[in-house]
């Protein structure tokens, strides 16, 4: 008989997958064989099911750790990793570790969800005993009655109108109970997404056997078509704000579809007038300390180079003239160190909230439909769709993560654009068919 072939780590791991219940299994998590994981489940006498996960650089490392875990279980010295830890304690620790792994704006969003929603609503629950039903109930409360009120949080103001101040029989002022306004189902989905990411880390580290946030059903979000301005409305906005401080911002937004953070993160070095291109390399975003700073774009696809429409070119040339005048007037007080395009009179980055507020005033002055500044991005996309630009090109232009996102955003817009095109063709043919005088 020939020599038996030597089993490699993958063969051994495959054999380990078929161990008897309670023994655990070892499997490869990195296709290159550089990371192995061992998992073991067991059930307590009261029916509570537990799962622990270990990791190693080789299958032998993971197997040895699993053997030690099995010995602890036999000796009765093991306890579930989440045992005795509350959801609040775990989330407080997780959010501190998360700061090194995500963009500043993403961390601030996670931190807000943890501090204002998840810890007040679920913080006292045992991490190991949290259930999908409890997560669903918390999300339902957020959408029905608002998030919990934090300690020492002040809400609202005393009514100025004396007739609106209520008093009891003794003449004491009766204050309404403190509460927040209900949040939208979409915001509740974002809160659930944060909890899902946090608990996924607990599962990865072997502290939980499953992710109850992933199992919890997300709130239903009704489909809402994107809002946008028609071509004539965009022209009216740009004409009436041509000499406005923020006019070039509106023009570049409507002609390129850039996000507001991307616009305010643009530097003159990102513009190549000779080649007629504009490169999106960074974005203005909130840092962990609440200050605005330049950061990486939203995603890898957000890093992109797009052609410069003539409207964008003209707006940038006007902006350069105004900025040079501001620089001369400011003298040594000029603070722009990054060569940004959109700055205030002292060279500091324009603040996003200031741009949004100014846009609303300009929109109302021009008697335009109620839209957000971000809807200029949708306006640019719908204008391109109306001109027959392929969806794949628009997706790449806008920096979407994939064409599916672009299709989802504008699926309801395309039929209307087709109807408008048919009507325009109808009018053109009818006009040509009319007899001349």
Query: Among 4-13, 167-176, 227-236, 277-286, whose mean pLDDT is lowest?
Result: 4-13
Distance CA 55, CA 71 (A): 17
Among 265, 266, 260, which Cα is nearest to 380's?
260
Distance CA 208, CA 77 (A): 18
Tokens of 364: 């109302």
Give residue-wise pLDDT tens across range 302-321.
889 999 999 999 999 999 99
Confidence band for 61, pLDDT divided at 50, 70 and 90: confident
Does the pLDDT value for residue 47 go beyond 80? Answer: no
Confidence band for 391, pLDDT divided at 50, 70 and 90: confident
Distance spanning both ends of the chain, measured CA to CA: 105
Q: Is 276 left (phi over 0), alpha (psi -120 to 50) or beta?
A: left
Give residue-wise pLDDT tens across range 206-251.
788 789 999 999 999 887 888 899 899 999 999 999 999 999 999 9
Give residue-wise pLDDT tens across range 108-118.
999 999 999 99
Total Cβ atoms within 10 A of residue 377: 23
Q: Look over the chain and give the mean of its residue pLDDT values, rounded to a whole number.
A: 82
Distance CA 257, CA 308 (A): 12
Predicted pLDDT of residue 169: 57
The residue count of the chain comes to 437
Helix axes 231-240, 375-386, angle to 10 degrees: 130
Does the pLDDT value for residue 137 go beyond 80? Answer: yes
Distance CA 228, CA 394 (A): 16
Which CATH number is associated with domain 87-152+179-215?
1.10.150.130
Tokens of 68: 């030690």
Distance CA 203, CA 392 (A): 37
Total Cβ atoms within 10 A of residue 288: 12
Among 392, 378, 416, 282, which Cα is nearest to 339's?
282
Query: Among 17-21, 85-89, 356-360, 387-391, whose mean pLDDT is lowest?
Result: 17-21
Estimate to the nearest angstrom the gap between the alpha carbon of 310 and the chain centroid. 32
Contact in structure between 272 and 340 (CB atoms under 8 Å): no
DSSP state of 114: I
- SS3 of 375-389: the string is HHHHHHHHHHHHCCC
Radius of gyration of the chain (CA): 29
Mean per-residue pLDDT for 270-279? 91
Beta bridge partners of 27: 37
Tokens of 304: 């992109």
| Rounded alpha-carbon distances, angstroms, from residue 196 to 100, 189, 190, 200 | 18, 10, 10, 6
Following CA atoms 163, 169, 173, 174 in sequence, which dihedral angle do they give, to the nearest 10 degrees?
-90
Would you identify the CATH topology of the domain 231-377? hpI Integrase; Chain A (1.10.443)
């Amino acid at each position: 008989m020939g020599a038996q072939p030597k089993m490699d780590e993958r063969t051994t791991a495959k054999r380990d997958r078929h161990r008897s219940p309670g023994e655990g299994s070892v499997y490869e998590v990195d296709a290159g064989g550089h990371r192995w994981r061992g998992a073991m489940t067991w059930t307590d006498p009261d029916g509570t099911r537990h799962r622990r996960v270990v990791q190693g650089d080789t299958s032998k490392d993971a197997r040895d750790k699993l053997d030690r875990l099995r010995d602890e279980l036999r000796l009765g010295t093991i306890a579930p990793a989440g045992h005795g830890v509350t959801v609040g304690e775990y989330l407080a620790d997780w959010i501190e570790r998360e700061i090194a792994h995500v963009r500043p704006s993403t961390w601030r969003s996670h931190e807000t969800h943890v501090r204002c929603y998840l810890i007040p609503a679920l913080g006292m629950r045992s991490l190991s005993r949290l259930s999908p039903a409890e997560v669903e109930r918390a999300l339902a409360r957020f959408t029905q009655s608002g998030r919990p009120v934090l300690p020492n949080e002040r809400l609202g103001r005393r009514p100025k109108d004396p007739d609106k101040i209520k008093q009891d029989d003794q003449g004491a002022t009766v204050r309404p109970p403190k509460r927040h306004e209900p949040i939208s189902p979409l915001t509740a989905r974002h809160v659930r997404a944060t909890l899902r990411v946090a608990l996924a880390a607990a599962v990865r580290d072997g502290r939980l056997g499953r992710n109850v946030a992933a199992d919890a059903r997300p709130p239903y979000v009704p489909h809402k078509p994107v809002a946008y301005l028609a071509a004539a409305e965009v022209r009216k906005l740009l004409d009436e704000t041509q000499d406005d401080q923020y006019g070039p911002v509106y023009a570049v937004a409507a002609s390129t579809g850039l996000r507001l953070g991307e616009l305010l993160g643009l530097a003159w070095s990102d513009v190549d007038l000779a080649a007629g291109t504009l490169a999106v390399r960074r974005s203005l975003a909130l840092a962990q300390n609440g200050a605005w700073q330049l950061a990486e774009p939203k995603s890898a696809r957000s890093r992109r180079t797009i052609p410069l429409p003539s409207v964008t070119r003209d707006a940038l040339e006007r902006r350069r003239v105004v900025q040079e005048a501001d620089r001369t007037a400011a003298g040594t007080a000029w603070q722009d160190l990054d060569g940004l395009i959109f700055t205030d009179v002292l060279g500091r980055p324009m603040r996003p909230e200031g741009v949004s507020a100014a846009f609303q005033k300009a929109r109302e002055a021009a008697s335009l439909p109620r839209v957000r500044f971000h809807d200029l991005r949708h306006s640019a996309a719908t204008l391109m769709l109306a001109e027959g630009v392929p969806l794949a090109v628009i997706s790449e232009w806008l920096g979407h993560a994939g064409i599916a996102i672009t299709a989802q955003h504008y699926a309801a817009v395309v039929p209307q654009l087709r109807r408008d095109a048919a009507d325009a063709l109808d009018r053109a043919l009818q006009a040509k068919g009319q007899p001349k005088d």
